[in-house]
Structure 1
Amino acid sequence: MADRYLETGLDLRLAKGTLTWLRDTLSQAALRQGKRGEARLLRLHLAPNPQAATPAVPSLDDFRAEHDPDGFYREEELIRLYLETFPQAADRKIRQRQRLMERQLKALDVIERLLATDPVPGDLVSAWFDKPVADRLVLAGIPTIGALLERIRERGYRWWITVPKLGEKGAARIVAWLRGYESSLGPLPDHATAPVRSLPVSMLTQIRVRETAIVPIEVFTAPQELAGETGSNRHPGRPRIQATNDHQAIESWLATKSGSPNTSRAYRKEAERLLLWAVIERGKALSDLGVEDCAAYRNWLSMLGRTNPEQWPFRIPQGEWIGRRNTPRFSPAWRPFDGPLSASSVRHALTIISGLFEWLVQVQYCAFNPWSAVGRKLAASPDTPDDVELTRVFSTGQWDYLMSFLDALPADDATSRLRFVLPFAQATGLRLSELVDASIGRLYTMPLKDGLGVRWMLKVLGKGGKWRAVPLSSRVMDRLREYLAYRGLDPDPLANPPETPLISRLGSQEPVTGSALYKTLRTVFHQAAESLAADGKDQEAKAFRRATVHWLRHTCGAHLASSGVPVNLLQKLLGHASLATTSIYTETDDERLWAEIESRA
Structure 2
Amino acid sequence: MPAELSGGHGLYRGINRAGSFAFIRAEHDLAAVHAYLHRYRDRPVTLRAYTRELERLILWSVVVRQKALSSLLVEDCEAYKDFLKAPIPSFTGPKRPRTSGRWRPFAPEGLSEDSQAYAVRVIRAAFAWLVEVRYLAGNPWSAVHEPATVIRESAVQVHRALPADLWTRVRRLLDERCKAPILPSRMEPGEVGARLSRQARARADQEAAPQWRAARAAILLMGDSGLRRVEAAQARREDLRASDVRSESSTSVPRPTGEAPTAGEAAGSRPRTVWTLTIVGKRRKQRTVPVSGATLDALRAHWADRDRDFDGEAHGPLIAPLWIPETDTAQNRHTTEDHDVAYTPDALGRVVRMAVRRLVVELRADPSGLSEMSTEDLVQLVTTSAHAFRHTFGTRAVARDMPTDVVQSILGHASLQTTSIYVKAEKRRMLEAAAKYYADDDAQ
Sort the TM-score into its range (normalised by shorter chain): 0.5 to 0.7
| Residue 340 of structure 2, aligned match among 503, 510, 521 | 510
The structural deviation recorded for 1:271 is: 0.7
Task: Tell me by how many angstroms 1:464 deviates.
Answer: 5.3
By how many angstroms is 1:434 displaced? Answer: 3.0
Native 8 Å contact 2:92 2:106 kept in 1: yes
1 CA distance for matches of 2:86 and 2:432? 34
CA contact (8 A) 2:23 2:135 kept: yes
How far off is 1:295 after superposition? 3.3
- Which residue in 2 is equivalent to 1:221? 2
Q: CA deviation at 1:567?
A: 5.1
Matched residue count:
361
% identical aligned pairs: 32
CA contact (8 A) 1:459 1:467 kept: yes
Compared CA separation, residues 221 and 369, structure 1 to 2 (3 A): same
- Summarize deviations over 1:131-186 as a string: whole Å, max 9, x none: xxxxxxxxxxxxxxxxxxxxxxxxxxxxxxxxxxxxxxxxxxxxxxxxxxxxxxxx
Partners of 1:258 and 1:464 within 8 A in 2: no
Against the structure 1 CA distance between its residues 386 and 476, is the aligned structure 2 distance closer, same or farther, given a 3 Å change threshold?
closer
Do the aligned residues in 1 keep the contact of 2:239 with 2:278 (CA within 8 Å)?
Answer: yes
> 2:241 matched to 1:444?
yes
User: Which runs of structure 2 are paired with 1:27-426 in the superposition (5 Å)?
Assistant: 220-221=1-2, 223-224=4-5, 230-304=13-87, 318-329=88-99, 331-339=100-108, 340-378=110-148, 390-409=158-177, 411=180, 412-426=209-223
Larger radius of gyration: 1
Q: Give the secondary structure class of the aligned counterpart of 1:444.
A: strand
Summarize the Cα distance change of 1:255–1:484 in structure 2 as closer, same or farther, 3 Å threshold. Answer: closer
2:242 and 2:273 in contact (8 A); partners too = yes
Deviations 1:185-219 (A, max 9, x none): xxxxxxxxxxxxxxxxxxxxxxxxxxxxxxxxxxx
Letter in structure 2 aligned against 1:288: S
Q: Deviations over 1:12-33 (max 9, x none)?
A: xxxxxxxxxxxxxxxxxxxxxx
In structure 2, what is the Cα distance between the partners aligned to 1:570 and 1:442? 20
> TM-score with structure 1 length normalisation?
0.51
CA distance in 1: counterparts of 2:82 and 2:415, whole angstroms: 28
Consecutive unaligned residues in structure 2, runs of 5 or more: 181-208, 249-270, 325-338
Aligned to 1:496: 312
For the 8 Å contact 1:460–1:468, the answer to whether it is kept is yes
- For residues 531-572 of structure 1, the C-alpha deviation after alignment (integer angstroms, 9 at most, x for no partner) is 455538444333322222222233333433454545544443
Q: Is the 1:571–1:579 contact (alpha carbons within 8 Å) kept by the matching residues of 2?
A: yes
**Aligned-pair distance for 1:366?**
2.6
Q: Deviations over 1:287-338 (max 9, x none)?
A: 333334333323322334xxxxxxxxxxxxx220013313332x33222123
2:40 is paired with a residue of what secondary structure?
coil
Separation in structure 1 between the aligned mates of residue 386 and residue 355 of structure 2, nearest angstrom: 11
Letter matched to residue 560 of structure 1: A
Match of 1:456?
275
SS of the equivalent of 2:92 reads: coil
Shift of residue 484, structure 1, vs aligned partner: 5.0
Alignment deviations for residues 43-86 of structure 1 (CA, whole Å, 9 cap, x no partner): xxxxxxxxxxxxxxxxxxxxxxxxxxxxxxxxxxxxxxxxxxxx
Q: Distance in 2 between matches of 1:225 and 1:501?
A: 41
Alpha-carbon spacing, 1:441–1:355, altered in 2? closer, same or farther (3 Å): same
After superposition, the CA RMSD in angstroms is 3.9
Select the structure with the greater relative contact order (CA < 8 A; seq sep ≥ 6).
Answer: 2
Q: Distance in 2 between matches of 1:498 and 1:576?
A: 29
Aligned to 1:172: none
Secondary structure of the 1:324 match is coil
